[in-house]
Structure formats: C-alpha cells, structure tokens
Amino acid sequence: MESFLNEIKHPKEGITISEFRNVVELQEQFISSLAHLLTRKFKETFRPKKSQPIELEQIENSRIYSDTNLGTGLISEFSIPNTSSRGEKHTVSAKFEGSTKSGFLDLMIKDSKGKNLWFPDHIGWDPVNDEGKIILNNDSYSNSWDFIIPQSLSVGNSIAFMGFYEDTLSLPTRNRRLISYQIKNITII
C-alpha cells in the first residue's frame, strides 16, 4: 500500500502521505485529496482563455451569422447618452429581436486609451452561473439598466458596444457567441 501511495504522490496536486491511525483516516484523506485534485483540474479545464481584443473601428455590420443550432437575430434598438460623465449614473437600453436559448445583452465601454469595461443586463444575465437567461423563439426582448462610468476610465472620445450574446451550455464545451451588436460613439467627460 505504501509503495502505491508513493507512486501517486505529487507535490502540486495535494496528494500526500502521512501517519494514519487506521484505514478509515487513510480512506478519508485519499478521497479528500482526489476530490481536491479533480476540482482543481475541472476548474482549469473550463477556465476561459483570454481572447484577442476586437478592433471595433473595423467592424461595420451589426449582424453576426452563426450556426443553425445557435440563436439568430438583431439588436434593433440601442440607446445611450452621447455624453457620459464619470461617477454619474446613466441609463442604457436595447432591444433584441430573434431567437435564443440562453442569451443576454451586454454593454461594453471602450475609453479613449483602449480600456474596456462591461455592464451586463441585470435581468438577462445570471452572475452566479455566468450565463444568459433569456429564451426567445422569434420574439423580442428589451430592457434598460443603469451604469456608472468609474473615474478610472479616461475622458475623451469612446465607443459604446452593445452586444447580444448566447451561451451554449452543453458539454463537452461551453461557448459564448456574439449573435448581434451595435456600436455608438460617445464622449466621456
């Protein structure tokens, strides 16, 4: 048994050998170590990878064509103040028309120095599970929500990017796809 435990010992994974009073303690420690290892490996497997930044200036069309298994539609309305002051509350609104199984609206502000900040729709997005909650079949969804531009964003000409995203939650992979978007130029003061 001791040679078996020495063979599976790995300092980074948390499986260790200790003095145990009985077989039950050994079993509990072994199960606990394996559970820790599997949980850590599972989190590493599903950790989102950093993506390359989107060059918003190069995007012209507001519709993203997708697989037939994914949602389709357009953001038909998008309203945001042309000038937004840092530290003050502002309201954004958007409307999506189409079909989705687990979608949500999300506002991104890109300041004059390229820093991005996200403001998701509080009703359509579940922050605990990090997934969309909107289900539509050739219907529409609209919402408005408040956001505050923090002092950390730079003043000047900025971009407001409203996207409608859909999560594909089936295993073996989990993806978030951009279904539609609109872009507006705003000024942060």
pTM of the model: 0.62
- Give the Cα separation of 79 and 42 in Å (integer): 40
Sequence letter at residue 156: G
CA dihedral 181, 57, 159, 61 (to 10 degrees): -20
Q: Dump pLDDT digits (tens) for 17-31.
A: 455 566 666 666 666
Give all domains of the chain, ordered by start, each with its CATH number: 2-46 (no CATH), 56-188 (2.60.40.770)
The dihedral region occupied by 137, where left means phi > 0, alpha psi between -120 and 50, and beta the remainder, is: beta
Q: Dump pLDDT digits (tens) for 118-177.
A: 999 989 988 888 888 999 999 999 999 999 988 888 999 999 999 999 987 665 556 788
Give the 3-state DSSP-derived string for 58-126, with helices as H, strands as E and coil as C: HCCCCECCCCCCCCEEEEEEEECCCEECCCCEEEEEEEEEEEEEEEEEEEEEECCCCCEEEEECCCCEE
